[in-house]
């Protein structure tokens, strides 16, 4: 898959002066648009749209300093509708306007071209299993929170504290097996999953089929499908966040699966007397054509 991803990156470079068709990039990468956006964000550390914007402004910056074209010509060439819009975007990235940069020969910021490669470190293996799961219900409480990639998310921590022990007990009593008990559920992400964007966070359970849901709890219906289930243990939350990243940087490029729309489930069990936790991450997946 990495070969196809790099072909998609080459397509971006050849078409910086045009509108980038994400569906075409996904076709070149031989995956779905949904998976391509998500995979790119996890591998690159930024949304696809941000990378394209930064590459355009990098190439445009070189042309500004070169002086061969007017600033308006450069703006139009790279998709800006006016010189003012180009100047604002240029200043946001480079810290200086295009006119000042051309006049004073300013130092500009460069976004390097990206390519992807798989780095194998050590001899450890990633533990996972593939599960075909019938439709089920997630039952609990939810909140809209910002996405934070590193460290404890204080918005989630405050939300959980506010639920109360009595409500958590009632939610837990509705639990079915696999995964059993309280799970953290993330759903309804922004398409690019950029940090600071919002998602639905659930403190909930996978409910028994016969469970009667109290009126003060919310329900998310999840259709039947395939799930990849990953497990790891280590310092919380670092080990968990590393596992999340490794599924995209190592597992997906090496296996015939891609992500599909759906909630992501995380079950965490803290190890008493330590700062460690055992985690199980459930990702909705589909087998790819190449698989």
Tokens of 287: 């087998």
Instruction: Please work out, in degrees rounded to the nearest 5, the angle formed at the alpha carbon of residue 253 by the alpha carbons of 251 and 257.
Output: 75
DSSP code per residue over 57-116: HHHHHHHHHH-SS-HHHHHHHTT-SSHHHHHHHHHHHHSS-HHHHHHHT------PPP--
- Mean pLDDT lowest for which of 114-123, 250-259, 276-285? 114-123
Does this model's pTM top 0.95? My answer is no
In this structure, are residues 236 and 12 in contact, taking their beta carbons and an 8 Å threshold?
no
Task: Name the 3-class secondary structure at 84.
Answer: helix
225-254 per-residue burial string, b: 16 or more CB within 10 A, e: under 16:
bbbbbbebebebbebbeebbeebbbebbbe
Question: What's the CA gap between 9 and 24, in Å, rounded?
Answer: 11
Same fold for the pair 2-104 and 127-287? no
Question: What's the CA gap between 41 and 114, in Å, rounded?
Answer: 12
Find the mean pLDDT for residues 231-258: 82
Give domain limits for the chain: 2-104, 127-287
Highest CATH level, class, for 127-287: alpha beta
Question: What's the CA gap between 195 and 146, in Å, rounded?
Answer: 8
pLDDT digits (tens, 9 = 90+) for 176-186: 878 999 999 99
The single-letter DSSP state of residue 127 is E
End-to-end CA distance of the chain, in Å? 11
The CB density around residue 267, as the number of other CB atoms within 10 Å, is 20
Provide CATH code, domain 2-104. 1.10.10.60
What are the respective helix, strand and coil percentages of the chain, to the nearest 5?
A: 40, 25, 35
Question: What's the CA gap between 141 and 159, in Å, rounded?
Answer: 9
pLDDT digits (tens, 9 = 90+) for 17-59: 999 999 999 999 988 998 998 888 888 878 899 999 999 999 9
Question: What's the CA gap between 172 and 16, in Å, rounded?
Answer: 51
pLDDT digits (tens, 9 = 90+) for 83-139: 999 999 999 999 999 999 998 877 899 888 888 775 555 434 468 899 999 999 999
Tokens of 247: 């599924």
CA distances to 12, 15, 69, 87, 112 from 61, in Å: 17, 17, 12, 11, 13
Tokens of 107: 């130092």
Question: What's the CA gap between 57 and 16, in Å, rounded?
Answer: 10
Question: What's the CA gap between 41 and 266, in Å, rounded?
Answer: 20
Task: Give the CB-side neighbour count of residue 250, counting CA atoms within 13 A.
Answer: 15
- Mean pLDDT lowest for which of 52-61, 137-146, 229-238, 277-286? 229-238
The CB density around residue 181, as the number of other CB atoms within 10 Å, is 14
**Torsion of the alpha carbons at 195, 196, 197 and 198, rounded to the nearest 10:** 120
**Locus of tokens 């990495």:** 2
């Amino acid at each position: 898959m990495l070969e196809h991803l790099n072909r998609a990156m080459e397509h971006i470079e050849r078409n910086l002066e045009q509108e980038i068709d994400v569906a075409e990039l996904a076709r070149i990468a031989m995956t779905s648009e949904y998976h391509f956006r998500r995979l790119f964000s996890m591998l690159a550390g930024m949304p696809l749209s941000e990378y394209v914007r930064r590459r355009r402004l990098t190439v445009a910056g070189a042309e500004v300093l070169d002086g061969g074209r007017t600033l308006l010509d450069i703006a139009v060439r790279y998709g800006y509708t006016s010189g003012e819009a180009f100047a604002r975007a240029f200043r946001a990235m480079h810290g200086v306007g295009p006119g000042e940069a051309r006049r004073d020969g300013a130092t500009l910021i460069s976004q390097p071209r990206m390519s992807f490669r798989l780095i194998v470190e050590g001899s450890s293996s990633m533990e996972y299993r593939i599960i075909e799961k019938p439709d089920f219900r997630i039952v609990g409480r939810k909140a809209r929170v910002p996405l934070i990639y590193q460290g404890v998310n204080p918005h989630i921590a405050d939300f959980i504290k506010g639920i109360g022990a009595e409500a958590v007990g009632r939610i837990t009593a509705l639990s079915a097996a696999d995964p059993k008990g309280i799970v953290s559920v993330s759903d309804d992400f922004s398409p690019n999953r950029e940090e600071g964007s919002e998602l639905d966070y659930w403190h909930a359970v996978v409910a028994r089929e016969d469970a009667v849901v109290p009126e003060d709890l919310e329900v998310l219906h999840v259709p039947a499908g395939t799930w990849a289930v990953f497990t790891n243990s280590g310092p919380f939350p670092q080990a968990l966040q590393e596992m999340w990243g490794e599924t995209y940087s190592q597992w997906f490029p090496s296996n015939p699966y891609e992500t599909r729309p759906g909630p992501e489930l995380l079950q965490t069990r803290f190890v008493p007397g330590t700062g460690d936790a055992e985690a199980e991450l459930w990702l909705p997946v589909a087998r790819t054509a190449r698989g």
